[in-house]
Structure 1
């Protein structure tokens, strides 16, 4: 039955038209389960009813016509209960409603199961039989499993249908929902960036120019043949066993008249080259996966790989002619930091990423660059969005394709209000960050994601609370030398000569990897990352801290911060290495000076005096692993300051991968457990007389900054764009008011209660414009 499930789901995705896909699917289910009828109803939330979309067994005239209210009949009951309903004689059930137009009077047995995607009922799948009986547990399990697998495919199919109909009727707006990744609004044309080729993401499209499509596929196949031959020849110099036989298989498949001929036949029928490739390749995948023999079944992955490689060469033909407009919104399956770095100065107005969440590093970088972003948009056939005009709302996560004039005017008005708000907050940029009743807090920068921009002190930041040293390590082909690092760090330290600059030691692992230092792990966020890597490689750690201290000579504003600390032993070992680097560097500096002053009678004294300019920096740790919350007293004896990394602390406290869009709704720094943990940390740090700061995204949120202020955090670190905004808020709220808000928040038990209350309080304080577009 597993192969039947796979075949039904895969073939559903191959149909270009949603209606045809649904009709084909119900017929397949009816045959597989040997029932008298199979039907599917799709939810229409605008009209609050389920619409009969496809059926094999009910009257054809009723398709697209029969509607059942969300609270009506057995179909409505399945939707309300959100679980299967198995009834031996449906017509005797008290919720049964008679619909003569569907002609189901002779059908008695009923089994219905909801199709749910991301907690939303998309539709109802039903099977019916003339014989009055309960369907078996196996039959029920099959239908539930099929519904679960179809949910995502149907969600994507509905979006594709919306986009297709929008293209046909150009005045229709399509609205899609994602996750608000970075605040702001962007209105521009979409540019699609596809660094990876995945046959499953291809949108089925047709083309009238079959000659051109034939030429494209022939060029792509020939290029793929050459690629495989070159790979095989190159690897044969090192590999002498049968491992290279796979390349022979690929070459044979490309040479086969059958496979290539079928693709060309699809093109002749009007399909674009990529669509024809998808149809044929996925047809072969279905056939191989249905074979019982395990060896032959595995050949499905070979066919998929082959298809992806041909698709890659097809796309490279298109990329050669891709021209960026003056202004555009970037769309990709997974928007990366390197993409943002490449496009940020080329007219980039906003980003749409199909993967990731509001706290993935792409979203954090977008916020740092003040670029509106939407993450986790549920869409497979992204090719349909290329060159479409769109509006992205980074406050709500809403994406509008082909917006009408009314919508454009509305969002243009919000953009104007945003600009006015920015001009307003800049009036306090260089004023002290202090509440009207005299409570002060330092605002610092999170820096390192982009070069130069974040180091400016013009926005009123007092130093850098987090400098991410790993970014320069990423944009290279090998580890940077001590000299290169020293020069870079000196530029950063010199930007704030009168204020502290906190540099985090190399923090890679998790979702941050180095191309020349790959780390392969099953669970990277709980694996080899942060201080764990640098302690295992002291040669990397020592070079970096020496470079930091060299750069700090004569400046004296460096503070070193250790990431991903989970034990006292790690801190002891890191401090030992830092002390080692400090004394070695001091001795080296003194020796160099002595050599220069060899003829001077007071050389020793002068060398010692100059060497004193090399200051041992303050050392702090990041509180982001929950274990350290319970070791603060021990750690306070060893370090000079604490800094909370609220992004990772939230991730680990809630056991939620912050990059995973599937569980992004569970990740929230305003979770009561996170807020109580932060409050406890602040209180304990005050008792131990250890300075405490926070450098996570929570500090950039208006309500988050007020809560942290009330908790007693000494410093808040954030991206440059938010410094004047947060300063404005703090200068307009009494510390006593912030304390009262915190006291009530700490009594709340759900995330929704926290957000509702905080939004209400900001509105009452006249600060609602800081949590939404406009004010």
Structure 2
């Protein structure tokens, strides 16, 4: 049986179409178990029923039609008990439910077992037989083992995991995906397919390197001109710092490392298209290996840029296409440049089959106030063609061919949302001060944008986290002190007389450099962050000197040390910083100011060393994402356990509160950078704890500012006291959502006002 089981599971995993895979599976199981019927039901959590998806033995016309409630029938009983049910005479069981359309009257024996993934019942697999008998222990063990392996395989079939794609195929009008940019839109879908795609290129060698080099340079020049035109079209529509996305594209395009690498391949005999593919694929692979979603999205930009150069290499011309009114753009992957193409053509919303909330397309969509749905998954693009749609950027829902009643409902929500956004805009330049006078500083996280506008960023009062490793990842070797200094000057100039917190090089773990590989069995608990730079003081000193030099005459730099786990690490880092500072002071005299130095509190052990740390550094910055990950021992990018990752876990909230109490007692400035700060409920709790500064992506600053200005510190503390007494994440989130609704903040977590 073991060999048979392996063969069935392997065949299932290799079939790209889940519908076909499931149908093949039930036939294989029926044959292997020598029974007369095998069926698979999948759970629809939203509608609370199991749907018959595949069967060899039941009526074919019932597939995708028969629904059994979670509390109905033998299938529902298997799901409720979360264990196998083995019955000799199913018809006489009190839970038997007769469904005439499946035509199962002849079957008596029933064996069903749940398919469970991440503690949730995804579905039921059952076998049936005409003879009234109990299935044997070996048969039951076979089906249980198959169900366990089946759950794991289904979860890995597609990036969104589990069974969402199958349910979307059944319900062709209602889909749910990842909310990218909040807002609601009603419009008409237009499907955009790429004219040029590097993945379709088969690398080949070609003669005349000189001719191939000329072709490449001409294609790059045309792409550069196209990007300049895109930027010009959007100028005035969005904040200038968001426009810097296109400057970043230009920077990549003119990057010596990328251009030189492509030309090296051409000199080696490869065609321009092949050389472009080989280099772009290598960079994409490097960035896709990074766990940090914010950084990983750079892979999308590089791929997009490569396809645009390829378009000009192949000399394709965009034909004039008639676009619908109230355009909803649908594509396999909506990129920043694709959005820019259609932004001035009546664009109301975007739907991207792949992509995440950290993509530059989403950043642009938020700046433009355009709702976006990301990661729709395995749904054919043809499903959307020429369809009217409603998209809800709060819940991630898509309604195709909506009813008049649904349209009327969402039109009212759009009007309410417009009212709320207008109120938020009025407060954007005001100070984030509570109703009873408590202030908190709102800063922005940065690192991917090439340049910053000199004005306020969405009302942020500085940079709370600048990720310096981006500059290292974009190059083919360690950047020199002069190169780093130029980058840091640009950043410091963007927020004159306002704080700019620069984190020292944070590589290792998921962030590797092609020219400095780190291979470890468990990288997140290995050589990363400050551990790397202290082992390589030559790298650390060059970076600190570049920072201190860039700060001369500006005096708004603050240095942040990542992945600190012990006091000796802090002492050694401070010694090296003092060494770099002293060297530059000898050159420039009193014009050189010693920048404040802080540490990231992201390793749980530091919670118990705050008194000692307070005597050594100037400020603390909590990295809530990593702190949550380490406290809960959860890799949030691992589908098997990601559901356990939650910053609202009572243990995480209590740890954050202890840090705040200890920091206040020792009079150390405290900030937090992480996703928790960008959520209304999280910001309220952090305000109540006493965090001085909250750092987040710039687009979240206005709404968090509005929330802070419309709540009292006293009310926030009452909410915190209640949350600290709750036992589970579910209780915490339920209570916070209830409070947000009562306070009139519901419009920040759902559609409407």
Q: TM-score, normalised by structure 1?
A: 0.70
1:304-703 matched pairs, under 5 angstroms: 345-347=340-342, 350=350, 352=352, 377=376, 379-380=377-378, 392-400=391-399, 414-415=413-414, 417-453=416-452, 456-457=455-456, 459-589=458-588, 611-703=589-681
Hey, what does 1:261 align to over in structure 2?
none
CA distance in 2, matches of 1:772, 1:99: 38
Q: Distance in 2 between matches of 1:749 and 1:17?
A: 42
Distance 1:61 1:559, change over 3 A: closer
**CA apart distance, 1:652:** 1.4
1:70–1:381 distance in 2 versus 1, CA, 3 Å: closer
**How many residues of Structure 1 are paired with residues of Structure 2 in the alignment?**
632
Q: How does 1:726-741 map to 2 (within 5 A)?
A: 726-741=704-719
Give the match's secondary structure for 2:586. Answer: helix
The alpha-carbon distance between structure 1 residues 750 and 465, as it changes in their structure 2 partners (threshold 3 A), is same
1:64-83 to structure 2, matched below 5 A, reads 69-83=69-83
What's the CA shift for 1:680?
A: 0.6
Separation (CA, whole Å) in 1 of partners of 2:384 and 2:581: 54
* CA distance in structure 2 between the partners assigned to 1:319 and 1:24 by the alignment: 44
2:240 alignment counterpart: none
Tell me by how many angstroms 1:495 deviates.
Answer: 2.5
Distance in 2 of aligned mates of 1:317 and 1:487: 33
Structure 2 vs 1, CA of residues 153 and 694 (structure 1 numbering), >3 Å: closer, same or farther? closer
Query: What aligned pairs does 1:70-109 form with structure 2 within 5 A after superposition?
Result: 70-90=70-90, 93-96=93-96, 107-109=107-109
Q: Please name the residue that 2:743 is paired with.
A: 765
Q: For 2:608 and 2:97, how far apart are their aligned partners in 1?
A: 61
Q: Assess, with a 3 A threshold, how the Cα gap between structure 1 residues 512 and 539 changes in structure 2: closer, same or farther.
A: same
Q: Which moved more, 1:716-725 or 1:636-645?
A: 716-725
Say if 1:454 and 1:423 are closer, same or farther in 2 by CA, change over 3 A: farther
Indicate if the aligned counterparts of 1:355 and 1:661 stay in contact, CA closer than 8 A.
no
Listed as ranges, the gaps of 5+ residues in structure 2 are 207-305, 344-348
- Helix, strand or coil at the partner of 1:620: strand
Residue aligning to 1:127: 127
How much has 1:444 moved relative to structure 2? 1.9
Between the aligned partners of 1:462 and 1:5, the Cα distance in structure 2 is 60
1:16 and 1:536, CA in 2 relative to 1: closer, same or farther beyond 3 A? closer
Q: How does 1:290-305 map to 2 (within 5 A)?
A: none
Are 1:706 and 2:684 matched, yes or no?
Answer: yes
343-352 or 71-80, which deviates more: 343-352
Specify the alignment match of 2:143 in structure 1: 143
Pairwise CA distance, 1:522: 3.9
Name 1:34's counterpart in structure 2.
34
For structure 1, list consecutive stretches of 5 or more residues without a partner in the other structure: 167-171, 198-219, 229-311, 590-610
Aligned to 2:254: none
**Contact persistence 1:190–1:385 (CA under 8 A):** no
Distance in 2 (CA, whole Å) between partners of 1:751 and 1:508 is 32
How does the TM-score come out when normalised to structure 2? 0.72
- Distance in structure 2 (CA, Å) of the matches to 1:686 and 1:48: 48
Q: Does the 8 Å CA contact 2:634/2:645 hold for their aligned counterparts?
A: yes
Go from structure 1 to structure 2 and tell me whether the alpha carbon gap of 1:161 and 1:429 turns closer, same or farther (over 3 Å shift).
closer
CA contact 2:384–2:400 (8 Å) conserved in 1: no
Superposed CA deviations along residues 211-247 of structure 1, whole A, max 9, x for unmatched, are xxxxxxxxx8xx859589xxxxxxxxxxxxxxxxxxx
Judging changes above 3 Å, is the alpha-carbon distance between structure 1 residues 73 and 714 closer, same or farther for their aligned structure 2 residues? closer
Cα 1:518–1:361 shift into 2, 3 Å: farther
Q: Which residue of 1 aligns with 2:698?
A: 720
Q: Secondary structure at the match of 1:86?
A: strand
1:371-409 deviation line (CA, Å, top 9, x unaligned):
7665665x4466667868666534223344566676566
CA–CA distance in structure 2, aligned partners of residues 322 and 137 of structure 1: 65
Provide the secondary structure at the position in 2 that maps to 1:617. Answer: coil
Give the 3-state SS of the residue equivalent to 1:746 in structure 2: helix
Q: 1:676 to 1:113 in 2, by over 3 A?
A: same
CA distance in 2, matches of 1:47, 1:501: 48
Which SS does the other structure have where 1:502 is aligned? Answer: strand
- SS of match in other structure, 1:446: strand
- Asked if 1:4 is matched to 2:8, the reply is no
SS class of match (1:425): helix
1:33-63 Cα distance to aligned partner (Å, 9 max, x none): 1224323445577886656565445577877
1:430 and 1:458 in contact (8 A); partners too? no
**Distance (whole Å) between structure 1 residues aligned to residue 456 and residue 342 of structure 2:** 25
Where 1:433 maps in the other structure, the secondary structure is coil
Alpha-carbon distance in structure 1 between the residues aligned to 2:423 and 2:654 = 33
CA contact (8 A) 2:454 2:493 kept: no
The answer to whether the 8 Å contact 1:74/1:96 transfers is yes
User: Residues 180 and 648 (structure 1 numbering): CA distance in 2 closer, same or farther, change over 3 Å?
Assistant: farther
**RMSD value over aligned CA atoms?**
4.3
CA distance in 1, matches of 2:462, 2:666: 24
CA distance in 2, matches of 1:344, 1:547: 36
Whether the aligned pair in 1 keeps the contact of 2:191 and 2:381 (CA below 8 Å) is: no
After superposition, the C-alpha distances for 1:733-760 in whole angstroms (9 at most, x for unaligned) are 2221111111111111111221222222
Q: Distance in 2 between matches of 1:365 and 1:650?
A: 29
SS at match of 1:443: strand
Decide whether the 8 Å contact of 2:452 with 2:494 is kept in 1.
no
- Give the Cα–Cα distance (whole angstroms) in 2 for the partners of residues 656 and 494 of structure 1: 38
Distance 1:411 1:10, change over 3 A: farther
Q: Is the 8 A contact 2:90 2:96 kept in 1?
A: yes
> Residues 489-528 of structure 1: CA distance to partner in whole angstroms, max 9, x if unpaired?
1222222222222111122333434344344444333333
> The residue matched to 1:125 in structure 2 has which SS?
strand
CA contact (8 A) 1:70 1:79 kept: yes
CA displacement at 1:639 relative to structure 2: 0.5
Q: 1:104 to 1:182 in 2, by over 3 A?
A: closer
Give the Cα separation in 1 of the matches to 2:557 and 2:47. Answer: 62
Say if 1:192 and 1:386, in contact at 8 Å, map to a contact too.
Answer: no
Shift of 1:699: 1.6
The structural deviation recorded for 1:647 is 1.5
| 53 and 541 in structure 1: CA distance in 2 versus 1, 3 angstrom threshold | closer
With 649-658 and 94-103 compared, the bigger mean Cα shift is at 94-103
Are residues 661 and 452 of structure 1, via their aligned partners in 2, closer, same or farther at CA, if it must alter by over 3 Å?
Answer: farther
The equivalent of 2:724 in structure 1 is 746
Secondary structure of the structure 2 residue equivalent to 1:612:
helix
